[in-house]
Amino acid sequence: MPSFSYILQQITIYYGIPVLAAGLVGGTLSSIVFLSLKTFRQSSCAFYLTVMSIVNIGQLLTGLLSRIMINGYGNDLTTTSEFYCKLRYFLLQFCTLLSLTSISLATIDQCFTTSLSPRWQRWSNLKIAHRLILLFTIVWALHGILYLVFFVQIYSPDLGKTTCSITDATFLVYHAYGYFLILSGFLPIGITILFALLAFHNIRRSMHQNVPIFHRELDKQLTMMVLVQVVVNALTLLPSNVLTAVQKDNSTISDPVVAARVQFAQNLSILWYYLNFTSPFYIYLCVSERFRRQFIYVIYDMHFNRYRRPQIVINQVVPTI
């Protein structure tokens, strides 16, 4: 019977690489569409989704790519370079938190913009969106200093190898429960579900109100895109966060056999977890016919066909025979 490590290696290679490729392509195409159309450039919700798409690419490169190299090919740079040991976990928490913050702000923004009250609608604008993203970029970067300090290389004589891990017991508890369960788990999931449902309720109410058709269609499109993504976020984040929190807190598991099984399940859940950062573009294509038309227009009409247009050479004199 194959060992857990062999099964994990094969799953990591044959599942992780396609997910990584799909995520990089999807994140790039999402960013291109959002940045190319004036409709999206003037929308604060689309701005949050653009930031999320860009940050998701960084998350996949620092997180999933490293995991493929570690579990799939046995090449762990965090054990050979203390600088990379610290940098990887700094970037992981920064990209994760900024991505989840962006989708949370996008759902809150859609709740405001679809509200029938002008008082709440005023909170949905690009100036506020830019300031909030700048604020949270600074906050999560400062938060990452903890990871630069407490993640260190440790040599284990029993295992005969070096690992990149946390030695401070207090920070380990915070990392397991404060970061995994709250900041990157129940808090963003709860916020996104609540405000996505409120935005959906506002959309249904606006169907009977005198709202310009252009704004109504844009709000419906963005709300549906965000609502489905919120559901996918909950399904992909919670299993990994719960299992990782349990596995990080070694005091909850004393049986080595049970610990090995939990670690195997946790590694599988992390691979599943990265679907959260891969899926947004494909969610948009599936749930929004309008986005599919916009995508085709941006890629083929605005960019691809621009390079295929024949160049007209002027000031040529046709010779006479």
pLDDT of 147 over the 50 cut: yes
pLDDT attached to residue 89: 95
Contact 212, 121 (CB under 8 A): no
Lowest-pLDDT range, 124-128, 145-149, 153-157? Answer: 153-157
Higher local confidence (pLDDT), 250 or 242: 242
Nearest Cα to 52, choosing from 192, 176, 179, 147? 192
**CA-based end-to-end distance of the chain:** 85
- Mean model confidence pLDDT for the chain: 87
Residue 73 has φ and ψ, to the nearest 5°, of -125, 5
pLDDT attached to residue 303: 81
Nearest Cα to 51, choosing from 143, 135, 112? 135
pLDDT of 320 over the 50 cut: no
pLDDT-derived band at 119, boundaries 50, 70, 90: confident
Question: How many whole angstroms separate alpha carbon 103 and alpha carbon 98?
Answer: 9
Q: What is the mean pLDDT of residues 232-253?
A: 77
pLDDT-derived band at 200, boundaries 50, 70, 90: confident
| Neighbouring C-alpha atoms within 13 Å toward the C-beta of 12 | 24
Lowest-pLDDT range, 55-64, 119-128, 136-145? Answer: 119-128
DSSP three-state, residue 154: strand
Lowest-pLDDT range, 81-85, 247-251, 301-305? Answer: 247-251
Give the Å distances, CA to CA, from 182 to 59, 172, 193, 241, 261: 19, 14, 15, 9, 24
List the structure tokens of 250: 């070694």
Domains and CATH numbers, the chain: 1-295 (1.20.1070.10)
pLDDT-derived band at 252, boundaries 50, 70, 90: low
Question: How many whole angstroms separate alpha carbon 85 and alpha carbon 30?
Answer: 30
Q: What is the mean pLDDT of residues 248-267?
A: 72
Q: The pTM is what?
A: 0.88
Lowest-pLDDT range, 56-60, 113-117, 309-313? Answer: 309-313
Radius of gyration of the chain (CA): 23
**C-alpha dihedral over 7, 11, 13, 17, to 10 degrees?**
-170
| Residue 164, strand partner residues | 153
* Residue in the block written with tokens 């399940």: 265
Q: What is the mean pLDDT of residues 87-101?
A: 96
Phi-psi region of 317 (alpha: psi -120 to 50; beta: other; left: phi over 0): beta
pLDDT of 259 over the 80 cut: no
